[in-house]
């Protein structure tokens, strides 16, 4: 309360100062808010802050141990931790059924959950997740953190209806992987140039991809080497390998009124070209799944593959002899006008969220833990760690290739992480890996992430697979998928789906994916 | 209370108290979920959408007209006919050959143990093993075919995916009928056979008139066990083909799993499990009836 009555001059002085401060705050944005007085400094630096709370959590079995080896560091910062005795696991594909009953219960047993953001819309629309904005507001530096996350992940996988519900733990993205030794072979180069009247190089368009795949398969098949491979038989992810092609044609899933937009000549052309290219894959290409594609790549008998970013990492670990004969580039695209448009699917990914129905003190502790786990201070190290299962998702991750060559400073060795030698052996390999990752994530295209995601994915996967195996034509496959999608929309309710899809539209518009 | 009164109380209530824990467990894990799934099968329920909404027979109607379900039923019959059929024929043949031809107890025991090993391996591991063996690119089977200059087979293509599942299943489960029939053959009275030999019966007559009729209940039991397992056939499908390509190896139980556990359409999934359950009961009843008829007509019932 003011004891002294203000003079006009003083009033103007104070209001002017306040206005200036507000304007400065608005202009400086993140910077001003970081230095606001009531923000909690990060790291907290008080091992008793959360009173030794140990958090329960759930994660998929393919994600490895980042929470466990980062935990001692976070415990030192703020007295909150996780342990081997507080983690439960689920298999990819069963995440939704494992997590949802717990989220619906009044007392979920987990303080935080790791899941794929393809379920983000479902969980948020059920009112099962805690919005994280109020927590982000409490801590200093969170704006910088949010700005560090790559837009394709931040806009589609962390936010829902303008609010933040999850923090990134793993950034999945498709890349074009290739074996430079084949592209640099002078004889093959000469033959390719003679036959196709163009230079043999990592393909830029899907038609280049077909030509290159065909060339390598025809030239090298007698040595057991094939030009290309693709995941085509996976109910949850198979569709996404086709969608790399269709999305780069500028085709989204639905229009704003939830009418499928996938039945058109462009989509048919893309699907038919996919099948044509797939002919140049190894025997069994009609049914190739994730495991087979890894095995074939690591056997060194495939020249090119559109696959998740970590294919080269697995291979560097499992087959050191071909570790440095791998390189990556932008997923091919379509020539539209005088530009080539690329889209790379961001399939699966991992985020961490907090269930709504847990006590407030545990929410506070859980937020601090997952925020710090996702934060660049730690994630920069563990995305380059063979025992984390995470891939880059922040700008800084792409700027630190040396992390891939060195032991992870966050951990030593143990029975769960018996080695700590870095992933790659050459800085050039790591640099190429990150450059390609960065280029692709800048054109990263989101998977379904609203209610019904699994059904949409399975519908497209199965019809796509029927087309590949000759049971349907391209047009029939797309029409059947569109019909099924309409039924799914009706089942979940048109208005509800429109509202949820609006999140996708907003993100797509922001990133320039919406015509 | 008199001693007599206490006795009456004990006789009346104690038996109920003794079975009560078992009943509670049975009710919680079997009876209640069954009733609940029946209730759900008449509702549209997806926890993401909201509360269950009564829809009458709509779920059943939808499933019965769903081409994917119809195809999966055709696949199931194919599997029952070829998979279970071959397992039974092989199991009976090997069991009887083992008993009749191998005279050394030790060798018989050793062979029995070897035959049982596949059955002791978890189905998911069997699936993984066969996925590798039948891999079209680098699998052992195609490698051998190539070495013999025979055409390689796309084992997981749309034409062969279901057959590949059946091959893996035969490898794993033939030992079940084998064990049942072998144990039955061991327990058959030797005197019956001695009498037949004295009468000059041929081996074929003995098999047709004595061995098979005396083993018919065991054969039926083995067949029914395998039939029941067939309706739950989901693990190897998940590991080996994931129902693909394009649903070419989808079986009803796998489809119910996808609809229920992955898409969370509990109403449709519940209705599907009821159709599968009732279907299996009807098929088994028809089979038992048919078998009795066949055996009677052959005068061996």
When pLDDT is cut at 50, 70 and 90, the band that residue B1 belongs to is: low
Distance of alpha carbon A440 from alpha carbon A393, whole angstroms: 12
CB contact under 8 A, A284 and B262: no
pLDDT of residue A24: 44
B157 touches chain A (CB under 8 A): yes
Q: What is the phi/psi pair of residue A60, to 5°? A: -80, 160
When pLDDT is cut at 50, 70 and 90, the band that residue B76 belongs to is: very high
When pLDDT is cut at 50, 70 and 90, the band that residue A514 belongs to is: confident
Helix (H, G, I), strand (E, B) or coil at A397: helix
pLDDT of residue A87: 97
Residue of higher predicted confidence among B145 and B6: B145
pLDDT of residue A37: 59
Query: Is the confidence at residue B87, as pLDDT, over 80?
Result: yes
Distance of alpha carbon A42 from alpha carbon A376, whole angstroms: 12
CB contact under 8 A, A289 and B154: no
Query: Is the confidence at residue B124, as pLDDT, over 80?
Result: yes
Residue whose entry in the numeric block shows the structure tokens 């050793």: B110
Least confident of A30-39, A323-332, A476-485: A30-39
The residue length of chain B stands at 301
Alpha helices in chain B (DSSP H): 3-26, 32-41, 58-64, 67-78, 85-101, 105-120, 123-133, 140-147, 161-173, 175-187, 190-198, 203-206, 212-231, 235-236, 252-257, 266-297
When pLDDT is cut at 50, 70 and 90, the band that residue B209 belongs to is: confident
Least confident of A61-65, A83-87, A326-330, B262-266: B262-266
- Whether B215 and B183 have beta carbons less than 8 Å apart is answered as no
pLDDT of residue A67: 97
Q: Which of A113, A122, A129, A123 is nearest to A59 (CA)?
A: A113
pLDDT of residue B298: 58
State which residue of chain A sits closest to B137, comparing Cα positions. Answer: A283
Domain boundaries, chain A: 53-172+348-441, 174-346+449-493
B161 touches chain A (CB under 8 A): yes
How crowded is the C-beta side of B67, counted as CA atoms within 13 Å? 7
Helix (H, G, I), strand (E, B) or coil at A85: helix
Model confidence over B235-266: pLDDT tens digits?
899 889 888 888 899 999 999 998 988 888 88
- Whether A29 and A146 have beta carbons less than 8 Å apart is answered as no
pLDDT of residue B48: 75
Among A residues 265-284, those touching chain B with beta carbons less than 8 Å apart: 282-284
Query: Is the confidence at residue A399, as pLDDT, over 70?
Result: yes
Contact partners, residue A484, CB within 8 Å, separation at least 6: A459, A463
Which is it for strands A174-178 and A302-308: parallel, antiparallel or unpaired?
Answer: antiparallel
pLDDT of residue A169: 98
Distance of alpha carbon A337 from alpha carbon A365, whole angstroms: 52
The strands making up A174-178's β-sheet, listed across from edge to edge, are: A226-229, A302-308, A174-178, A327-329
Q: Mean pLDDT, to the nearest integer, of A449-477?
A: 92
Model confidence over A142-164: pLDDT tens digits?
999 999 999 999 999 999 999 99
Residue of higher predicted confidence among A93 and A365: A365
Contacts B258 to A, Cβ<8 Å: 235, 458
From the candidates B137, B139, B147, which should be mutated to test the interface with A, based on the most A CB atoms within 10 A? B137
pLDDT of residue A32: 41
Among A residues 102-121, those touching chain B with beta carbons less than 8 Å apart: 104
Least confident of A13-27, A90-104, A404-418: A13-27
Segments of A111-260 assigned E as strands: 112-115, 159-160, 163-164, 167-170, 174-178, 226-229
Q: Shortest Cα distance from A191 to chain B (angstroms)?
A: 27
For residue A229, the cross-strand partners are A305
Q: What is the DSSP letter of A262?
A: -
State which residue of chain B sits closest to A226, comparing Cα positions. Answer: B137
Contacts A234 to B, Cβ<8 Å: 242
- Specify the CATH class of A174-346+449-493 in words: alpha beta
Q: Quote the distance between the C-alpha of residue A162 and its chain's center.
A: 19
Would the CATH topology of A53-172+348-441 be identical to that of A174-346+449-493? Answer: yes
pLDDT of residue A13: 46
Topology (CATH level 3) of domain A53-172+348-441: D-Maltodextrin-Binding Protein; domain 2 (3.40.190)
Model confidence over B143-152: pLDDT tens digits?
999 899 998 8
Residue of higher predicted confidence among B193 and A478: A478
Contacts B48 to A, Cβ<8 Å: 100, 122, 125-126, 451-452, 492
Residue of higher predicted confidence among B301 and A92: A92
Contacts A466 to B, Cβ<8 Å: 245-247
Contacts A452 to B, Cβ<8 Å: 48
Q: Which of B244, B263, B264 sits opposite A465 (nearest CB)?
A: B244
Q: Which of A3, A116, A14, A195 is nearest to A353 (CA)?
A: A116
pLDDT of residue A9: 47
Q: Which of A283, A297, A374, A356 is nearest to A328 (CA)?
A: A297
CB contact under 8 A, B157 and A286: yes
Contacts B265 to A, Cβ<8 Å: 455, 491
pLDDT of residue A22: 41
Q: Shortest Cα distance from A39 to chain B (angstroms)?
A: 36
- Whether A158 and A165 have beta carbons less than 8 Å apart is answered as yes
pLDDT of residue A7: 44
From the candidates A284, A461, A480, A487, which should be mutated to test the interface with B, based on the most B CB atoms within 10 A? A284
Measured over the CA atoms of residue A456, residue A457, residue A460 and residue A465, the dihedral's sign is negative
When pLDDT is cut at 50, 70 and 90, the band that residue B299 belongs to is: low
Q: What is the DSSP letter of A403?
A: G
Q: Which of B131, B248, B263 sits opposite A469 (nearest CB)?
A: B248
Least confident of A36-50, A77-91, A173-187: A36-50
Q: Mean pLDDT, to the nearest integer, of A338-343?
A: 94
Measured over the CA atoms of residue A221, residue A224, residue A230 and residue A236, the dihedral's sign is positive
Q: Mean pLDDT, to the nearest integer, of A470-485?
A: 95
CB contact under 8 A, A284 and B156: yes
pLDDT of residue A56: 97
Model confidence over B154-183: pLDDT tens digits?
898 888 999 999 999 999 999 999 999 999
Model confidence over A39-77: pLDDT tens digits?
999 999 999 999 999 999 999 999 989 999 999 999 999
Query: Is the confidence at residue A6, as pLDDT, over 60?
Result: no
Contact partners, residue A340, CB within 8 Å, separation at least 6: A204, A205, A333, A334
Distance of alpha carbon B270 from alpha carbon B278, whole angstroms: 12
Burial (Cβ within 10 Å: 0-12, 13-18, ≥19) of residue A406 = middle
Query: Is the confidence at residue B27, as pLDDT, over 70?
Result: yes
**Mean pLDDT, rounded, of chain A:** 90
Residue of higher predicted confidence among B15 and A112: A112
Query: Is the confidence at residue A407, as pLDDT, over 50?
Result: yes
Topology (CATH level 3) of domain B62-297: MetI-like fold (1.10.3720)
pLDDT of residue B247: 86
State which residue of chain A sits closest to B128, comparing Cα positions. Answer: A291
CB contact under 8 A, B48 and A93: no
Among A residues 455-484, those touching chain B with beta carbons less than 8 Å apart: 455, 458, 462-463, 465-472
Among B residues 227-246, those touching chain A with beta carbons less than 8 Å apart: 241-246
Residue whose entry in the numeric block shows the structure tokens 């847990």: A358
Q: Shortest Cα distance from A162 to chain B (angstroms)?
A: 20
pLDDT of residue A2: 34
- Whether A227 and A200 have beta carbons less than 8 Å apart is answered as no
Burial (Cβ within 10 Å: 0-12, 13-18, ≥19) of residue A321 = exposed
Q: Shortest Cα distance from A105 to chain B (angstroms)?
A: 12
When pLDDT is cut at 50, 70 and 90, the band that residue B2 belongs to is: low
Contacts A104 to B, Cβ<8 Å: 47
pLDDT of residue A138: 96
State which residue of chain A sits closest to B259, comparing Cα positions. Answer: A455
Among A residues 479-498, those touching chain B with beta carbons less than 8 Å apart: 491-493, 496
Domain boundaries, chain B: 3-41, 62-297
When pLDDT is cut at 50, 70 and 90, the band that residue B137 belongs to is: confident
pLDDT above 70: percentage of residues in chain B: 96
Residue whose entry in the numeric block shows the structure tokens 């003794």: B18
The residue length of chain A stands at 515
ipTM value for the complex: 0.72
Inter-chain CB pairs, A–B, below 8 Å: 111
pLDDT of residue A260: 97
Contacts B161 to A, Cβ<8 Å: 287
């Amino acid at each position: 309360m003011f004891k002294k009555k203000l003079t006009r001059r003083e009033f103007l002085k104070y209001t002017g100062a306040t206005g200036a401060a507000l304007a400065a705050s608005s202009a400086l944005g993140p910077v001003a808010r970081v230095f606001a007085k009531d923000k909690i400094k990060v790291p907290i630096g008080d091992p008793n802050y959360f009173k030794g709370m140990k958090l329960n959590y759930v994660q998929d079995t393919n994600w490895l141990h980042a929470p466990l080896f980062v935990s001692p560091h976070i415990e030192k910062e703020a007295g909150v931790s996780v342990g081997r005795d507080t983690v439960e696991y689920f298999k990819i594909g069963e995440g939704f059924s494992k997590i949802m009953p717990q989220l619906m219960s009044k007392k979920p047993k987990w303080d935080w959950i790791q899941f794929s953001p393809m379920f983000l819309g479902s969980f948020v629309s059920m009112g099962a997740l805690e919005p994280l904005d109020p927590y982000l507001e409490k801590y200093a530096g969170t704006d910088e953190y949010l700005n560090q996350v790559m837009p394709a992940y931040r806009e589609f996988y962390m936010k829902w209806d303008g609010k933040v519900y999850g923090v990134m733990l793993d950034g999945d993205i498709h890349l074009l992987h290739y074996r430079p030794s084949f592209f640099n072979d002078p004889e093959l180069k000469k033959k390719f140039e003679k036959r196709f009247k163009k230079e043999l190089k990592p393909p830029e368009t899907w038609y280049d991809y077909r030509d290159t795949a065909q060339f390598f398969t025809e030239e090298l098949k007698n040595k057991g080497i094939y030009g290309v491979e693709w995941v085509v038989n996976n109910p949850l992810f198979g569709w996404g390998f086709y969608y790399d092609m269709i999305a780069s044609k500028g085709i989204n899933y639905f229009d704003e009124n939830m009418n499928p937009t996938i039945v058109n000549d462009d989509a048919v052309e893309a699907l038919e070209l996919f099948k044509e290219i797939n002919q140049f894959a190894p025997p069994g290409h009609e049914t190739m799944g994730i495991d087979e594609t890894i095995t074939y790549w690591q056997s060194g008998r495939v020249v090119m593959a559109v696959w998740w970013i970590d294919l080269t990492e697995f291979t560097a670990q499992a087959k050191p002899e071909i570790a440095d004969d791998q390189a990556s580039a932008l997923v091919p695209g379509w020539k539209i006008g005088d530009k080539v448009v690329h889209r790379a699917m961001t399939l699966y990914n991992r985020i961490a969220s907090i269930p709504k129905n847990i006590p407030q003190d545990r929410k506070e502790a859980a937020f601090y833990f997952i925020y710090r786990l996702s934060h660049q201070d730690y994630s920069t190290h563990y995305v380059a760690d063979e025992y984390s299962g995470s891939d880059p998702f922040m700008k800084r991750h792409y700027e630190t290739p040396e992390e891939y060559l060195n032991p992870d400073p966050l951990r030593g060795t143990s029975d769960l992480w018996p080695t700590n030698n870095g992933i790659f052996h050459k800085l050039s390999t790591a640099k190429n890996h990150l450059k390609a990752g960065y280029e692709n994530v800048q054109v990263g295209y989101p998977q379904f992430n609203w209610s019904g995601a699994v059904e949409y994915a399975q519908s497209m996967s199965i019809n796509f697979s029927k087309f590949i195996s000759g049971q349907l034509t391209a047009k029939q496959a797309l029409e059947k998928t569109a019909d099924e999608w309409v039924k799914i929309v009706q089942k979940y309710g048109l208005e509800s789906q429109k509202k949820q899809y609006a999140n996708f539209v907003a993100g797509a518009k922001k990133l320039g994916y919406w015509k | 209370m008199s001693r007599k009164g206490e006795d009456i109380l004990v006789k009346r209530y104690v038996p109920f108290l003794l079975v009560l824990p078992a009943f509670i467990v049975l009710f919680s894990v079997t009876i209640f979920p069954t009733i609940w799934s029946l209730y759900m099968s008449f509702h549209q329920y997806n926890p993401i959408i909201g509360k269950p909404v009564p829809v009458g027979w709509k779920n059943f109607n939808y499933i019965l007209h769903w081409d994917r379900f119809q195809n999966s039923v055709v696949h199931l019959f194919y599997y029952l006919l070829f998979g279970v059929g071959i397992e039974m024929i092989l199991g009976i043949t090997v069991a009887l050959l083992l008993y009749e031809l191998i005279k050394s107890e030790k060798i018989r025991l050793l062979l029995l143990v070897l035959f049982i090993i596949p059955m002791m391996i978890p189905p998911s591991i069997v699936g993984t093993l066969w996925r590798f063996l039948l891999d079209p690119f680098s699998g052992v089977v195609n490698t051998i075919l190539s070495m013999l200059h025979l055409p390689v087979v796309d084992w997981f293509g749309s034409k062969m995916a279901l057959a590949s599942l059946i091959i893996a299943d035969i490898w794993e489960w033939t030992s079940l009928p084998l064990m049942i029939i072998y144990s039955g053959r061991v327990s058959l009275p030797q005197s019956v056979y001695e009498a037949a030999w004295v009468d000059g019966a041929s081996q074929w007559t003995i098999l047709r008139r004595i061995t098979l009729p005396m083993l018919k209940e065991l054969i039926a039991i083995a067949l029914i066990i395998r039939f029941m397992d067939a309706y739950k056939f989901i693990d190897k499908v998940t590991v080996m083909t994931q129902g693909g390509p394009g649903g070419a190896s989808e079986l009803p139980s796998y489809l119910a799993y996808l609809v229920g556990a992955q898409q969370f359409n509990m109403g449709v999934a519940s209705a599907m499990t009821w159709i599968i359950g009732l279907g299996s009961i009807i098929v088994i009843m028809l089979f038992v009836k048919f078998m009795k008829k066949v055996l009677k007509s052959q005068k061996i019932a």
